[in-house]
Structure 1
């Protein structure tokens, strides 16, 4: 009788353990499905507010060069367009989003630098951008020093604006706004003379229908910005797969088509497609 009681108790404990294990496996799968390539969807971090690069349209769709690159890469990884979930990823949260597993990849004007490479791995680069100026189409600003005594606009905390003030035109009158839209409004009205950030971002704004023909890029190449696709640190398999996809996108002409479609209206003079691992300092 005693033996039966022990056996019954053991069976009960074993049943509870199996139940707990099953629940744990379910939870793990649910967690992995949010970002893992093993699921039926893939989450990719992008910007929602950068025309020409990453923009959420009023109808809920997405457009831009980063979106086109991300969609192509996801296709090569085995996902259809309706299996891609784009997640808004702010600049300050990009490393954490990958570490937490909120997203599988990040394609969001993500410049590769040594500090970031300590926290994430980068596929690419897939675009070489430069800091530049956006000015009115009839502006006579042709070089950085022309900004001395002029009104320069950028967003709060912008390293681009500080670079101009400290290194190029210390006598420029810097105005910092919460967003680029305020700077564009000022540029349109004439209250500011130039807007500075990456040329790819500036080209995206200038290519909007409401601004066509009003602005131009100065073409100054004030810095080099190597855009890469962020991957969770240590995920070598995904990193290699994304690099293979990017190489194919360039070789089959899809990369150039995406550049022309998203930046063409602003007469953006893009650099040739960079080679994988070729970081321009």
Structure 2
């Protein structure tokens, strides 16, 4: 070991501080003037980029409410499922509000505020399909798999159902394949499916999981996470959450929940 002189120690300290700064040590969304928020661009009812370039949907409205409670200006960026961890970890977005289910694996990379809603995984099939009444009936069928989503795991890995996976980049691509007969079913959160249900496509209405939608945030931002949780609590207490859920999903027939979800905790 080489002993450092006074000058050497000073240089080493400066380098250490610079390294910590570069790594974002102690950074929080509360110090930002403008928040960059990742949302989905292709999920009707949740996050959809319109022809005018504006985003609309339940997740978009939730993100807008949270940013308002934090007293921050904000802008939205399209964030597909496959990029959610990446953009949070590299700092290109500050928050992700994009049907982002809280899982143990994801919590090793990023942190979560919320959940702001607890959805339930269900299955979407063609309207004329009568042989699929629940998730077990997917055995031997072609199931759509969206890159970056964990929904297929609930079927194939957790429930050991022998489905044939067909991978695509987004849920909108899944819907196209379902209509074209390339896949037999799409299984994911009921709020996502509700946005795609039409006269030609129906939800089986046999939910089999709880999907806790969290607000993705950089790991270590305890203050930011707690501020987000406070905003979510207020969103339910002042009736905004109920209004937003009814605005986007009242016609879906889903049983909606209007009480504050149990938070995961920011520690």
TM-score scaled by length of structure 1: 0.73
Contact kept? 2:241, 2:258, Cα under 8 Å:
no
Q: 1:225 aligns with which of 182, 191, 211?
A: 211
Give the direction of change, closer, same or farther, for the CA distance of 1:114–1:190 in structure 2 (3 Å limit): closer
| 1:196 counterpart SS class | strand
Contact kept? 2:133, 2:204, Cα under 8 Å:
yes
Q: Aligned residue for 1:268?
A: 254
| 1:114 counterpart SS class | coil
Query: Structure 2: which 5+ runs fail to align?
Result: 1-20
Q: 2:102 aligns with which of 98, 112, 122?
A: 112
What is the RMSD of the two structures over their aligned residues, measured on CA atoms? 2.8
Q: Aligned residue for 1:74?
A: 67
Larger radius of gyration: 1
Contact kept? 1:97, 1:103, Cα under 8 Å:
yes
Q: Aligned residue for 1:152?
A: 143
Deviation at 1:157, TM superposition (A): 6.9
Counterpart Cα distance in 2 of 1:40 and 1:258 = 26
Structure 2 counterparts to residues 242-261 of structure 1, below 5 A = 242-261=228-247
Q: 1:215 aligns with which of 181, 185, 201?
A: 201
| 2:98 counterpart SS class | coil
Contact kept? 2:115, 2:262, Cα under 8 Å:
yes
Deviation at 1:69, TM superposition (A): 0.5
| 1:128 counterpart SS class | strand
Give the direction of change, closer, same or farther, for the CA distance of 1:213–1:121 in structure 2 (3 Å limit): same
Query: Structure 1: which 5+ runs fail to align?
Result: 1-27, 207-211
Structure 2 counterparts to residues 1-281 of structure 1, below 5 A = 36-79=29-72, 83-140=73-130, 141-155=132-146, 159-165=150-156, 167=159, 169-170=161-162, 172-190=163-181, 192-206=183-197, 212-277=198-263
Deviation at 1:277, TM superposition (A): 1.5
Counterpart Cα distance in 1 of 2:192 and 2:100 = 12
Deviation at 1:59, TM superposition (A): 0.5
| 2:88 counterpart SS class | helix
Aligned length: 238
Deviation at 1:187, TM superposition (A): 3.2
| 1:76 counterpart SS class | helix
Give the direction of change, closer, same or farther, for the CA distance of 1:145–1:114 in structure 2 (3 Å limit): closer
Contact kept? 2:43, 2:171, Cα under 8 Å:
no
Structure number with the higher helix fraction is 1
Contact kept? 1:145, 1:168, Cα under 8 Å:
no
Contact kept? 1:156, 1:176, Cα under 8 Å:
yes
| 2:188 counterpart SS class | strand
| 1:102 counterpart SS class | coil
